[in-house]
Chains A and B, each alone.
Chain A
Amino acid sequence: MVAEVLYREQFTIRGNDFEHGGEVATQVKSILKQLGLDPAVIRRLSIANFEAEMNVIMYADEARLELEVLPDAVRVVVADRGQGIPDIEWAMQEGHSTATAEMRARGFGAGLGLPNIRRNSDEFEISSTVGVGTTLRYLVRTDAAPAG
């Protein structure tokens, strides 16, 4: 059965666009606040979205972030076009990163992003093809807000 979608919107994130890094997460946060979601749910989603957005900016050419608000959850898909991840299991471990010095100087690239998206989600999936891109799918339930 297909879940009823109460709200849907798409955003574009451009690779290497550090100047605007964080704007999509901030826009989505404003939308979720307007929809009256629980602040703890909004915080978990906002952190996950910001981490995903910065990952695209640091490692991909471009991505589409799709937001879907369902009756009992918020679902996000971030599909990028880019270099992909050769070893997902390695990349999912805290502290594992291929970040450059510039990325670290901007406060990111510590190898915490992907694990943090998973930590802030109730459901999390990642798939990647080297030379093609990476897709993240994560969901946060809104009917109950477990600690992140």
Chain B
Amino acid sequence: MQLRSVASLLDCEVICCHEMLDLQVFSCFAADLMSDVLAFSLPNALLITGLTSVQAVHTADVADCKGILFVCDKRPSPEALELARNREIPLLATRHTTFECCGILFQRGLTAATKAAAEAPCSAK
């Protein structure tokens, strides 16, 4: 699914990197604990989080996430936004909660960006 479809489905504001909305995402990782993202996520995920600090963007960068979706109408700090622009990490924001975002995206065929989900014989489509 293209990031622009994610944005449309979840009624997102695209905060930065509008030119990268053609990027395809196939899996997501949702966490407010960046330690979990660093320990358990696979690359190329869409990071779904309520953490808006600069560390959320650094985490997305080092973990090779395709973008960040901020939930509950949260917006990144100015420092986080500047870093995301520099590192070319698209930022989206939605009023939906984490649970709602995950449910909607899972229903549309996106999977968990985890080793277990990647190794599962069949995933929800």
Contacts and interface: CB of A to CB of B under 8 A. Distances in A.
A119 B39 contact: yes
**Chain A at the B interface: SS class:** helix
Contact of A22 (B35, B43, B51, B55): B55
Interface in A23-58: 23, 25-26, 29, 39, 43, 46-47, 49-51, 54
A133 interface: no
Interface residues of A, number: 28
Contacts of A49: 62
B13 interface: no
B121 to A, nearest CB: 19
A85 B64 CA distance: 31
Interface of B is mostly: helix
Contact of B58 (A26, A115, A116, A119): A26
A50 B38 contact: yes
The 3 closest A-B pairs by CB, nearest first: A22-B58, A107-B34, A46-B62
B35 A21 contact: no
A43 B59 contact: no
Contact of A107 (B39, B51, B63, B79): B51
B62 A50 contact: yes
Interface string A107-130: 111111101100100000000000
Contacts of A46: 61-63
Contacts of A112: 35-36, 38-39
B39 A26 contact: no
Interface in B74-108: 79, 83, 87
Given A22-B59, A25-B62, 20 more contacts: A18-B53, A22-B55, A22-B62, A26-B62, A39-B43, A47-B63, A49-B62, A106-B51, A106-B53, A106-B55, A107-B32, A107-B51, A107-B59, A108-B33, A108-B55, A110-B33, A110-B35, A112-B36, A112-B39, A113-B35
6 contacts: A18-B55, A19-B54, A25-B58, A107-B33, A110-B36, A115-B39
B57 to A, nearest CB: 8
Contact of A43 (B32, B35, B58, B64): B64
A26 B36 CA distance: 19
B56 interface: yes
B39 to A, nearest CB: 5
Contacts of B38: 47, 50-51, 112, 116
Contacts of B36: 110, 112
Contacts of B53: 18, 106-107
